[in-house]
Chain A
Amino acid sequence: MNTAEIAQLLRLEVALDLRQRAAWGGMLLYVVSAVYVCFLAVKGGLGTATWNALYWIILLFAAFNALSRSFQREEGGRQLYLYTLADPRSVVLARTLYNGITMMVLSLLSLMFYALFLGSEVLSEADLPQFLLAVVLGGIGFATVLTLISAIAARSGNGLGLMAILGFPLVLPMLLAVMRASKLALDGVAWSVTSTYFGGLLLLDVITVTLAWVLFPYLWRD
């Protein structure tokens, strides 16, 4: 494992995704459709709690949709080829990093659409930097947990169906913590209260990445 290799792999990810614009287009369209369905279903203004809950539910499903394809690419020969070229630990770190960035962008974009359709009055009383931090940390948290899960699901041979079953219980506690943090941020609670949550979320992220780093090599070889 070295940083040059990780950077190289990261560049490969970006290049591949730029080549397949449809992938990003699909993710965005999924979020926009979900937001629009919510807009149609919810008539009238939403309270802070409901606004927050609905946003995180949309983001949760967007994360499953976006990250489930993260290891679908490597089928058979390509996986073997990558295996001979790169250290598996570099692969998992690069992919977690890339997924983290993806989720960060995706969660901010979906927030934009969400505020556009479902109203941003809720945000007027919020501590905005705190809320954005919660959104970003939540997105990255989903990415760290779901990267290894998507690898397991992909290796098992029936990726998409299994992904939700395997990933949901592991993401749920993180979802609860991040929902609460963002609710507090929306209520404009002081940093001294919310910092515990942010610290806890960061700790969870670090431990999850470490676990993925330890376990991935066993998954990678056949």
Chain B
Amino acid sequence: MKHWWWKFLAIALLLVASIAALWVPLSPALVHVSPGRIAPGEVVIHVTGYNTRFSPDMRVFLENDGQQVCASQVEVIDARHARIVMNVPKGLRASMTDLSVQGLRYPGAFYNDDLGDGIESAPCGNVNKVDMASLAFTFPNRSILYESIRNLHFHVPMWFTMIALMGISVWHSIRGLGGNSLERDRKAVSAVHVGLLFCGLGLATGAFWARATWGAFWTNDVKLNGAAVTALIYLAYLVLRGSIPDAHKRARLSAIYNVFAFMLLVLFLFVVPRLNAIDSLHPGNGGNSGFNDLDLDNRLRLIFYPAVAGWVLLGTWMYDLRQRSARLRELIEQ
């Protein structure tokens, strides 16, 4: 029990994080509002929500430059659809108008070109602002991302795990540089094998996420180039190993390549993107925020950090099994 408590921890963390990542609902949001343009007079608005619970007594209003216009009639079709009648007055000050339904805001819902000096505005009703749905534990609901936000808990930990495994590998390569240690070499290559598996998983989860949000499985982006370069480097490492028959020479040359490649890789992944990041789509690059600014992002973090820890521990465990089985194979062959 002393030595392998962390394996139980890995399983527990992974189970909790993965189930939560798939189970937790998205917070309610307005996903579609039509029409997109309003003019003074009576306007009929159709609103579509996601995970919402529309009710006839909900508070609905337009907000234009701080001034509010209350709905004259709210007709709830079902929990996600509502038909709203608005009497839009003349004299709205700003061209973009927000819509607020049941405390959910749809910014810039309408465009209006009939501008004036403002209207007489009074707050619409005094319904308590906290909706029941917002009390539950939910993930942020972002346009474009929507349900795919769950992938954060799978895609990103893969890369964390891969970097950790490549770190283990390069650590053994550095320690093995002095003498042609076959044991260090075995550990280094085992870590690379498992690391490449996680690299593949990271590429796969990333490709599906990219398809869902950007419209293509692969785009020309610094982050994606970094991922491709990483995969190529470690595949080249394996090719180099395969081409040298002598075990000691293989250990030495591949350790040198591993150290050289890893150091350059760190530079490429963390320095070059700063140079080329102007036109990156990836979160955390080129002026795109990571997920830090998402409202109540602590809800994401609460799942994300255990997921990272769980996957890194699982990767380390797999590496340990791999290098032990490699050792057994060597012993059998002798």
Contact = CB atoms under 8 A, between A and B. Distances in A.
Interface of A: 145, 148-149, 152, 155-158, 161-162, 165-166, 168-170, 172-173, 176-177, 180, 196-197, 200, 203-204, 207-208, 211-212, 215, 218-219, 222
B223 interface: no
B201 interface: no
26 contacts: A148-B260, A149-B257, A156-B240, A156-B243, A156-B244, A156-B249, A161-B243, A165-B240, A166-B240, A169-B229, A169-B261, A172-B229, A173-B229, A176-B276, A177-B276, A180-B275, A196-B275, A204-B267, A204-B271, A207-B263, A207-B264, A208-B264, A211-B259, A215-B256, A218-B256, A219-B256
Contact of A152 (B257, B267, B271, B276): B257
Interface string B121-152: 00000000000000000000000000000000
Given A162-B240, A170-B261, A200 B256 contact: no
B19 interface: no
Interface residues of B, number: 31
Contact of B253 (A155, A177, A204): A155
A165 B256 contact: no
Contact of B243 (A162, A212, A218): A162
Contact of A170 (B178, B259, B264): B264
A95 to B, nearest CB: 15
A173 B276 CA distance: 10
B267 A176 contact: no
Contacts of A222: 249
B94 interface: no
Given A162-B239, A169-B236, A196-B275, A152 B225 contact: no
A152 B240 contact: yes
B256 A152 contact: yes
User: Max chain A CB contacts within 10 Å: which of B233, B243, B256, B276?
Assistant: B256
A204 to B, nearest CB: 6
Contacts of B222: 176
A170 B276 contact: no
B252 interface: yes
A215 B240 contact: no
CB-based closest 9 A-B pairs: A169-B232, A173-B268, A169-B233, A200-B275, A165-B236, A169-B229, A173-B272, A166-B236, A218-B177
Nearest to B264: A170
A152 B271 CA distance: 25
Interface string B205-245: 00000000000000000100110010011001001100110
A197 B275 contact: yes
Interface in B273-288: 274-276
B271 A200 contact: yes
A215 B255 CA distance: 10
A197 B249 CA distance: 38
A152 B233 contact: no
| Chain B contact residues, majority secondary structure | helix
Contacts of B236: 165-166, 168-169
User: Max chain A CB contacts within 10 Å: which of B222, B225, B255, B264?
Assistant: B264
Contacts of A215: 177, 256, 259-260
Nearest to A153: B240
Given A162-B239, A172-B229, 10 more contacts: A148-B260, A149-B257, A166-B236, A169-B261, A173-B272, A177-B276, A200-B274, A207-B263, A215-B259, A219-B252
Contacts of A180: 275-276
Nearest to A168: B232
B296 to A, nearest CB: 36
A137 to B, nearest CB: 13
Contacts of B177: 215, 218
User: Max chain B CB contacts within 10 Å: which of A166, A168, A177, A215?
Assistant: A166
Nearest to B176: A218
A222 B244 CA distance: 14
A196 B272 CA distance: 11
A148 B272 CA distance: 21
Given A156-B243, A208-B264, A166 B256 contact: no
B232 A211 contact: no
A222 B226 CA distance: 34
A203 B229 contact: no
A168 B240 CA distance: 13
A120 to B, nearest CB: 27
B225 A172 contact: yes
Given A219-B252, A219-B253, A158 B243 contact: yes
Contacts of A196: 275
